[in-house]
Amino acid sequence: MTAERVQALALGGLNKLPAQFIRPAHERPENTVAVDGVTVPVISLSQPHDVVVKEVAEACQEWGFFLITDHGILPSLIQRLKEVGQEFFELPQEEKEAYANDAACGKFEGYGTRMTKNLEEKVEWIDYYFHLMAPASKVNYDVWPKNPPAYRGVTEEYNKEILRITDNLLQLLSEGLGLEGKVLKSCLGDEELELEMKINMYPPCPQPELALGVEPHTDMSALTILVPNDVPGLQVWKDDNWVAVNLLENALFVHIGDQIEVLSNGKYKSVLHRSLVNKECTRMSWAVFIVPPHEVNIGPLSELVNDQNQAKYSTKTYAEYRHRKFNKLPQ
């Protein structure tokens, strides 16, 4: 069975939002507006090292989220990444369907749309493309878009840059915990660390005040590094309020995910976030999830646990963590 794509639905021209997308009143953007005058931390990586360590550690403790600038990725590469992703979604529907995933059969990679698991569960206003990007030994290039032809080259170039930034961030995060720079990366599988690309595509929505692009969640990754197109929509949860994340050209949006929260024994927070959709414009975002290999055990770092600071999380493989999160089982 092929899923009904949100993009195809939107292109058909709708005046009203179909029922399965209408969120319950307490979740609707119209009833849960973002707080005024609060902005997320923005950290320039060109500052002295000890300043960057301190600012990153504070942002991880207070927000679990921050923007980085002066990261060294060329604006032209970010631009090309966005172009190839956008071109893929502009292909004829039939051509996109050749890449359809089948999450129910464990085929997570490819073109997808989230479907309801039961009648009450509302769906999100989003289509996406998901594939592994690193390590090269595990990547199946057959599930990457072959059109546009530049997709692979551009994405491989971006992958290299994100690997470099991941090394840098994990080092800063380790030092912020008072540990040696290499500790976090080594817990996350070192060179076996995996990078997953998810291109999120939110078509124009007839009643955006009633819908969500992605519902409130924390990422199960260690870190997520995201770039949006020029349509705002991401919100992060801070001190009992939603805070809208303003656009900042060429900045990278860094989310602390669940695995870093566990490793840091709760010192760094995995950020709750959601995305809104837009009436006129297509919103897109490119999220790279940085995750440990599935068989790696993740638990609070022994260096951070003692009689005064007991472990707040159980230790389990990343595969087990994923299974429990997907099935909404307690961790």
Residues forming contacts to ligand AKG in the complex (CB under 6 A) are 198, 200, 214, 219, 226, 228, 234, 273, 275, 285, 287
Please identify, using beta-carbon distances, which residue of 176 and 233 lies nearer to ligand AKG.
233
For residue 282, CA distances in Å to 11, 84, 86, 144, 213 come to 11, 15, 10, 22, 11
Binding mask of the shown chain, residues 193 to 232, with x at each position contacting Fe ion by CB under 5 A: --------------------------x-------------
For residue 58, give the nearest of 175, 165, 219 by alpha carbon: 175
Whether the CB-CB separation of 134 and 193 falls below 8 Å is answered with yes
Please identify, using beta-carbon distances, which residue of 171 and 259 lies nearer to Fe ion.
259
- Catalytic one among 54, 122, 198, 316? 198
Please give the residue whose beta carbon sits closest to Fe ion in the complex. 219
Task: Quote the CA–CA distance of 170 and 223 in Å, as a whole number.
Answer: 9
Please identify, using beta-carbon distances, which residue of 29 and 228 lies nearer to ligand AKG.
228
Task: Quote the CA–CA distance of 136 and 152 in Å, as a whole number.
Answer: 13
Size of the chain in residues = 331
- Catalytic one among 127, 219, 255, 269? 219
The site for Fe ion, by CB under 5 A, has a size of 1
Q: Specify the amino acid at residue 273.
A: H
Question: For residue 196, is it left (φ>0), alpha (ψ between -120 and 50) or beta?
Answer: beta
Residue 267 a catalytic site member: no
Q: Calculate the dihedral angle through the C-alpha atoms of 102, 105, 108, 111, rounding to the nearest 10 degrees.
A: -10
Residue 198 a catalytic site member: yes
The SS3 of residue 7 is helix
- Catalytic one among 138, 146, 217, 323? 217
Whether the CB-CB separation of 69 and 43 falls below 8 Å is answered with yes
The entry of Fe ion, ligand AKG, none near residue 228 (CB within 5 to 8 angstroms by kind) is ligand AKG
Please identify, using beta-carbon distances, which residue of 175 and 219 lies nearer to Fe ion.
219
The entry of Fe ion, ligand AKG, none near residue 234 (CB within 5 to 8 angstroms by kind) is ligand AKG
Residue 217 a catalytic site member: yes
Half-sphere exposure of residue 235: CA atoms within 13 angstroms, side-chain side: 24
The entry of ligand AKG, Fe ion, none near residue 261 (CB within 5 to 8 angstroms by kind) is none
Give least dist CB 218 to Fe ion, A: 7
Tell me which DSSP letter residue 34 carries: P
The entry of Fe ion, ligand AKG, none near residue 154 (CB within 5 to 8 angstroms by kind) is none
Question: Residue 317 has which token pair?
Answer: 């493989």
Give least dist CB 181 to ligand AKG, A: 27
- DSSP string spanning 53-109? HHHHHHHHHHTSEEEEES----HHHHHHHHHHHHHHHTS-HHHHHTTB-BGGGTB-S
Give least dist CB 50 to ligand AKG, A: 31
For residue 54, CA distances in Å to 134, 187, 320 come to 29, 22, 33
Residue 71 a catalytic site member: no
Please identify, using beta-carbon distances, which residue of 55 and 219 lies nearer to Fe ion.
219
Give least dist CB 273 to Fe ion, A: 6
Please give the residue whose beta carbon sits closest to ligand AKG in the complex. 285
Task: Quote the CA–CA distance of 46 and 249 in Å, as a whole number.
Answer: 17
Please identify, using beta-carbon distances, which residue of 109 and 175 lies nearer to ligand AKG.
109
The entry of ligand AKG, Fe ion, none near residue 114 (CB within 5 to 8 angstroms by kind) is none
Give least dist CB 291 to Fe ion, A: 13
Catalytic center residues = 198, 217, 219, 273
The footprint of Fe ion (CB under 5 A) covers 219
